[in-house]
Amino acid sequence: MTATERSAVLAMLNSAHVTQPTRRALLERLDARYEREFFNEAEFERLRALAVRLVPHDPAEMDLTGTVDHRLIVGVSDGWRYADALPDGEAYRELLAALPDGFEALDGDAQAAAIHGVQSSYPHAFEDLLAELTEAFMAHPLTQYRFGYAGFADAPEWPHVGPNELEPREVAYGPK
């Protein structure tokens, strides 16, 4: 994340346009880094490589792998799973074990083929992991900033509600 991006995100999050509960949650996400606790080191590195392939991001900017690991160690879930599915942690471990040795170092085509294989063999775990990574990516304030999303500015007073009408606090993206 560039200094300019960080400044812009912080300026919006610390503005009067964002309520305190939203500010607290997004500031926590902005710099969240978790120690590996659930997965062993090899599983964690394999998960990181898989996460970067599934949801392209810079792990130095967003700790999506740590977010998954942290959720599993604290035991939080979205409250449902398929009746025939293993608990998330066990399912993710099986999925990671099914990837070829050295997955992290494979070229893009070989990684894509390996991912296709585990997606077919472990559809529920793959779907759950992809959804979890995508959710963490989209919930990160840097992603929201880069997409031009200002919906987290949840304090009242949005007078412009028509198509293509930007508030002064919103960033205009694309050609002008």
27 falls in which pLDDT band (50, 70, 90)?
Answer: very high
Name the residue range of residue 132's domain.
Answer: 32-142
In a domain, 152, yes or no: no
Residue 76 near residue 97 (C-beta atoms within 8 A)? no
How many domains, the chain?
Answer: 1
Q: Would you say residue 20 lies in a domain?
A: no
Indicate whether 168 belongs to any domain: no
- Domain assignment present for residue 165? The answer is no
Q: Is residue 176 part of a domain?
A: no
CB neighbours of 54 closer than 8 A, spacing ≥ 6?
Answer: 115, 129, 130, 133, 134
The pLDDT tens digits for 77-131 are 877 777 888 999 999 999 999 999 999 999 999 999 999 999 999 999 999 999 9
Residue 58 lies inside a defined structural domain of this protein: yes
As a whole number, the mean pLDDT across the chain is 88
Q: Assess if residue 16 is contained within a domain.
A: no
Q: What confidence category does residue 175 fall into, taking pLDDT thresholds of 50, 70 and 90?
A: very low
Burial 47-72 (b: 16+ CB within 10 A, else e): bbbbbbbbbebeeeebbbbbbbbbbb
| Domain assignment present for 159 | no
Please give the Cα distance from 7 to 151 (Å, whole number).
18
